[in-house]
Chain A
Amino acid sequence: MFARENKLTAWHLGVAMIALFIGGFFGPLQKLEYVGVNLYSTLNKIGIASYYQGLTLHAVLNALVWTTFFIVGFFTFTITRSLNKELTMPKLNAVGLITMIIGLIMAAIPILMNLATVLFTFYPPMKANPFFYIGLVLVVVGSWICGWGFYLTYFAWRKENPGVQTPIIALGSLITMVLWQIATLGVATELLVMVIPWSFGLVEGIDPQLARTFFWFTGHPLVYFWLLPAYVSWYGMMPKQAGGKLFSEPLARLVFWLFLALSVPVGLHHQYLDPGVPAGWKFLHGLLTYSLFLPSMLTAFNVVASLEIGGRNNGGTGLLGWVRALPWGDPSYAAQNLAMILFVFGGIGGLTNSSYNLNLVIHNTSWVPGHFHLTVGSAVTLTFFGILYWLVPKLSGKPLWNRKVALVQAWTWFAGMLLMGNGLHILGLNFGVPRRTMVGVAAYASDAWNPMLIEAAIGGIILGISGLLFYSNMIGTVLSKKRLEAPIEMPVAEAYDEHPAPAWLDNWKPWLAITVVLIVVAYGPILFDMIANANMTSPGFKVW
């Protein structure tokens, strides 16, 4: 059973890890550039023309490709195992995977040829080669197709199991996939209706303000598409790994539903400083963003309480003694717990970013990359590493190559991100150092920046080493000749509280209805107004 699912998962994860390897390569280089060690003239020889071409690769491969491929692969595994049901149409999922890979190659070629040095936000009227955009669309469409394969499987399971509650791991995964499908309608519209015809020269002008609005319709829920798979593991698996139980299973379900309902109608919090969006709409999205803070607060309590149950089961006592009794020697566990700790800082920074006028202080400064390296670069990526520490042995049938190396990897990632995150935050907050800028040669650079630039660079180097440790473990595991002694199963946390979740927490209809209503209310009138008055005047520019 599950042979095809395992194979599909392995392909997704494999592509994800290759993408992160290439993308991650530029991270330390960027940090070195910050402190005046410019290796880009050497990189010219292997065809990297500029800092910004490297940064485009870094962000596209890490933030878009590594995450999307990992998540779809992980869900292929979690949904089928959690429902204990094979995919009903595995061919559909294979088509999805192939579409994603074709899209990736199609987008990668123009980037590598320096025809799409537009960063991962590709704001028009900067104009890339059309195949860059088409490739991105295919990656997204491929992931939709995989999602449809999941839904068919779920419907079939539902028919066979009337009245049974959807297991939390499957439910969280499915909600995340639905969120993704709704969210990506924004960027799909931007690319298919506006950008692609314009990049082929079929239309002359584009409205950059409208394009940004479609982009950020997708851009915010995108971060929850990254984060929720980590939550699936934190709620559904980690309590088990810690020797505990899920403290409040019903509230965990509620959290996933709240994220579905609230993730999209908040996108304008990325556009607080845009000239073309009226105050009322910005403020409404600010309010809705604040309500998104609640499911994250619920998660903090629930997950920590679940781990505490584990720590106490393991013999930990006292106010904090249970923390030491957690399985810190298990790299999969340790990586994910460290990821959570970094997410606390990421979450607090996120609250600042989303606070309407406080955004003036940090918008587009290096605070922002500081923030999302703690979130997507740590909470998400380090959790995914933790998952891979059991999932790759599971799929390959071979034990993890070296557990000590894996532990060192988790702790060095933690330390490196603390240093780099702290440095980047302070540089942005205190000195206004701009984001995604070749800071080392900036005309306005100041000596006062140096201590924090150096701190961030040390962090970046530690992270580079940590990344190499991760890859040596993955390669070591896959190439090893050893076989697992006992098979590995997906860790599944039991519910602690015997009160079952009420039926409305296993019912899609009301939640989908709330989601659609909130989107229509928060985006309908402003988008209608922007489209009706579109300013399609901007020709394209190639500025690299």
Chain B
Amino acid sequence: MIHVDRSEKIYIIISVALIAVFFVAVAVSSFVYGIQVPLPESRVDPRTIATPAPGNFFGEPGLYEVGPGKYNAYIMSQIWSFTPREITVPVGSTVTFYVTSKDVQHGFRINETNVNMQIVPGEVSKLTVTFDEAREYDYICHEYCGVGHQTMAGKIIVTEQ
């Protein structure tokens, strides 16, 4: 065995305990409280996904009401814009974002929320958020997607009920 100094032994035990506590905290927050990352949703063909067809929401991206106060937002990314560029929902709405790309990789982050996703052609990224404040939020492309990357963004307007 390795000879380890006593003070170092104590330090190692504290380090391991610290890591374990952090790990449990992360596990609880993600699987008990449901603060989740994007997970496999569905796969698409980026060459045809933007073509309107029955059942293809990305053919007509936008906001779809699916229940009282519940919406699905289908967002198409392309260089260097999102379609739609603007979404308006009443305060208290729960919106599930479905985002994909018809060209290169992009990013999708709604500032001041936990919505942050990598947008990969061929895959659909999905996260849900509830808007509790009447205000505006930016959604921003955060993955380099070419020389116009810095212009790629949109707005969510949360209105008073």
- Least distance between B69 CB and chain A CB atoms (Å): 23
A355 contact from B16, B22, B124, B146, Cβ within 8 A:
B22
B144 contact from A119, A251, A297, A541, Cβ within 8 A:
A119
A48 located at the interface, meaning its Cβ lies under 8 Å from any Cβ of chain B in the complex: no
A155 located at the interface, meaning its Cβ lies under 8 Å from any Cβ of chain B in the complex: no
B126 to chain A: which residues have CB within 8 Å? 275
Q: How far is it, in angstroms, between the C-alpha of A436 and the C-alpha of B147 when the chains are bound?
A: 11
The stretch among B42-50, B58-66, B87-95 that forms the contact with chain A is B42-50
In the complex formed, the residue of A with least CB distance to B37 is A272
Within 8 A of A (CB), among B12-26: 12, 15-16, 19, 22-23, 26
A364 to chain B: which residues have CB within 8 Å? 107, 109, 116, 118, 142-143
Assess the A543–B12 pair: CB atoms within 8 A: no
Q: How far is it, in angstroms, between the C-alpha of A351 and the C-alpha of B19 when the chains are bound?
A: 10
B122 contact from A208, A293, A365, Cβ within 8 A:
A208
A248 to chain B: which residues have CB within 8 Å? 2, 4-5, 8
- Least distance between B79 CB and chain A CB atoms (Å): 5
A443 to chain B: which residues have CB within 8 Å? 150-151, 153
- The digit string for B45-79, where 1 denotes a CB below 8 A from any CB of A, is 11100000000000000000000000000000001
- Least distance between B17 CB and chain A CB atoms (Å): 11
Within 8 A of B (CB), among A219-237: none
B160 located at the interface, meaning its Cβ lies under 8 Å from any Cβ of chain A in the complex: no
Q: How far is it, in angstroms, between the C-alpha of A539 and the C-alpha of B102 when the chains are bound?
A: 10
- The digit string for A532-543, where 1 denotes a CB below 8 A from any CB of B, is 000101110101
- Least distance between B15 CB and chain A CB atoms (Å): 4
In the complex formed, the residue of B with least CB distance to A432 is B111
How many chain A residues touch B (CB < 8 A): the figure is: 73
Assess the A543–B15 pair: CB atoms within 8 A: no
A125 located at the interface, meaning its Cβ lies under 8 Å from any Cβ of chain B in the complex: yes
Known: A50-B147, A275-B41, A356-B26. A361 touches B114 (CB 8 A): yes
B150 contact from A278, A301, A437, Cβ within 8 A:
A437
Known: A250-B2, A432-B109. A275 touches B117 (CB 8 A): yes
Q: How far is it, in angstroms, between the C-alpha of A436 and the C-alpha of B144 when the chains are bound?
A: 7
Within 8 A of A (CB), among B95-112: 103-105, 107, 109, 111-112
- Least distance between A177 CB and chain B CB atoms (Å): 24
Assess the A52–B8 pair: CB atoms within 8 A: no
B30 located at the interface, meaning its Cβ lies under 8 Å from any Cβ of chain A in the complex: yes
Known: A50-B147, A251-B2, A273-B118. A434 touches B141 (CB 8 A): yes
In the complex formed, the residue of B with least CB distance to A270 is B118
B39 to chain A: which residues have CB within 8 Å? 275, 277-279
Assess the A442–B5 pair: CB atoms within 8 A: no
B138 located at the interface, meaning its Cβ lies under 8 Å from any Cβ of chain A in the complex: yes
B29 located at the interface, meaning its Cβ lies under 8 Å from any Cβ of chain A in the complex: yes
Assess the A543–B30 pair: CB atoms within 8 A: no
- Least distance between B103 CB and chain A CB atoms (Å): 5
Within 8 A of B (CB), among A337-387: 351, 355-361, 363-365
- Least distance between A410 CB and chain B CB atoms (Å): 28
Q: How far is it, in angstroms, between the C-alpha of A203 and the C-alpha of B154 when the chains are bound?
A: 35
Known: A275-B117, A434-B109. A357 touches B26 (CB 8 A): yes
A276 to chain B: which residues have CB within 8 Å? 40, 43, 120, 122-123
The stretch among A10-18, A313-321, A497-505 that forms the contact with chain B is A497-505
Known: A52-B149, A297-B15, A442-B151. A273 touches B37 (CB 8 A): yes
B118 to chain A: which residues have CB within 8 Å? 271, 273-275, 363-364
Assess the A537–B45 pair: CB atoms within 8 A: yes
Known: A434-B107, A535-B122. A293 touches B116 (CB 8 A): no
- Least distance between A220 CB and chain B CB atoms (Å): 16
Interface centre among A361, A437, A439, by most chain B C-beta atoms within 10 angstroms, is A437
- Least distance between B94 CB and chain A CB atoms (Å): 17
Q: How far is it, in angstroms, between the C-alpha of A499 and the C-alpha of B16 when the chains are bound?
A: 24
Assess the B138–A444 pair: CB atoms within 8 A: yes
B103 contact from A125, A278, A442, Cβ within 8 A:
A125
Q: How far is it, in angstroms, between the C-alpha of A134 and the C-alpha of B131 when the chains are bound?
A: 48
Which A residues fall within an 8 A CB radius of B?
50, 52, 117, 119, 123, 125-126, 207-209, 212, 247-248, 250-251, 254, 271-279, 282-283, 286-287, 290-291, 293-294, 297-298, 301-302, 305, 351, 355-361, 363-365, 431-432, 434-439, 441-444, 497, 499, 501-502, 505, 535, 537-539, 541, 543-544
Can you pick out 11 interface pairs between chain A and chain B where the beta carbons lie within 8 Å of each other? A52-B146, A274-B38, A274-B118, A275-B119, A275-B126, A278-B40, A294-B15, A357-B35, A434-B109, A502-B2, A535-B122
